Amino acid sequence: MTISIGHRRFEIAQPGNILLWLIAAFHMLLAASLLAVLFSVTPAAAADNSCSGKDLMAELKQSDPARYAQVVKEADAVPNGKGIFWKIEKPGLKPSWLLGSMHVTDPRVLNLPAYAQTAHDNADTIVIESDEILDEKKAAAALLARPDLTIFTDGTTIQKLLSPEDYARLDAGLKQRGIPLAAVSRMRPWMIASAVALPACEIARKAKGVQFLDQKIAADAVKEGKQVKGLETLAEQLQAMAELPMEFHLKSLIETLELGPKMNDVVETMTDLYLSGNVGMTIPMLKTVSPEEGGDGDYAAFEQRIILDRNKVMADRAAPILAAGNVFMAVGALHLPGDKGVIELLRQQGFTVTAVN
């Protein structure tokens, strides 16, 4: 597939960068959700009638049973791929708890299972990816204090980087979310793409003041007088994205636009997998959206910087907090599975980590 970026044309490496971007987008929604604050998006401006989406796995099971069976096989092979709630134990310490979160405002996600809610309510300390999300205006100000991570500072605009056709599609996609293109014209592609990856209903709920899961967990803890600690800063999260090649981000932005309404199906399917605790199926599922093979260089760089490096930071920074016991920790669910995921890294620190059904 060939795309145009400004006056340049690129052949997209296989698989399409959309697979990588969709994974990244759900890591970066902590920052992307601040767009509603930065640009004062109103509920009336953001379309809120686009929450509908279909389960792509159910559809695949009917249309291509063999491919569905392959996805299930890949998912079953992912270490620690089943379960979003885990018990953390070490002799001499009160048990702690680990929740794999999804950074969305979907009421189905916000409604924690009873056992997870009880663990949250009884914990002494709450840990989330970034405690800066407790005050969105301060968080937005902190991001703007590092303009190099969010905007072009050399006069570049997104219009100069995209073809007229892709620029028009971007304009239409942002309008559906109540975000004027002029307001983000100098923003770096990963910030814009995060907003495009969010379904319009997410932006609409955000504009109405609905908190996404991590925010709600932290805000509830503050109301209860608990201590809230963060493992990363928003600037660190954006820095990870900034270190990936610009062409990767531009291609990812365009491919995200090409998905169009299918983004709702992707998000609905990711949500269904999350609610069922089948986190290990997320990436195999995304491969069905962009099924071609290849592009190993892009994926290796992406996986290392966006997933593996951050897994280690989270586990290392969580260790001294967990040493006090009785902690409730919530980090993005895609950080949990795998032989280099947060669960396995905590085990290497001497903790016993077991799934809670």
120 touches 135 (CB < 8 A): no
Q: What would the mean pLDDT of 79-102 be, rounded to a whole number?
A: 97
Q: Hey, what's the torsion of the CAs at 353, 341, 81, 119, to 10 degrees?
A: 40
Q: Quick check: 323 pLDDT over 90?
A: yes
Per-residue pLDDT at 78: 96
Higher pLDDT, 95 or 237: 95
Lowest mean pLDDT among 62-71, 214-223, 240-249: 240-249
Q: Hey, what's the torsion of the CAs at 282, 309, 117, 216, to 10 degrees?
A: -100
- Predicted TM-score (pTM) of the model is 0.86
Per-residue pLDDT at 30: 53
Higher pLDDT, 318 or 152: 318
The 10s digit of each residue's pLDDT in 162-198 is 889 888 888 887 787 777 888 888 888 887 877 777 7
What share of the chain in percent tops pLDDT 70?
Answer: 83
Lowest mean pLDDT among 178-182, 313-317, 340-344: 178-182
Rounded Cα–Cα distance for residues 240 and 233 (Å): 11
Q: Which of 180, 184, 195 is nearest to 150 (CA)?
A: 184
Rounded Cα–Cα distance for residues 68 and 146 (Å): 44
Reported confidence tier of residue 40, pLDDT bands at 50, 70, 90? low
Q: How many CB atoms lie under 10 A from the CB of residue 155?
A: 7
Domain positions in the chain are: 2-41+54-355
State phi, psi for 329 to the nearest 5 degrees: -115, 135
Q: Mean pLDDT of all residues in the chain?
A: 83
State phi, psi for 273 to the nearest 5 degrees: -65, -40
The 10s digit of each residue's pLDDT in 94-147 is 999 999 999 888 999 999 999 999 999 999 999 999 998 888 777 777 777 888
86 touches 98 (CB < 8 A): yes
Q: What would the mean pLDDT of 332-349 be, rounded to a whole number?
A: 96
Reported confidence tier of residue 11, pLDDT bands at 50, 70, 90? very low
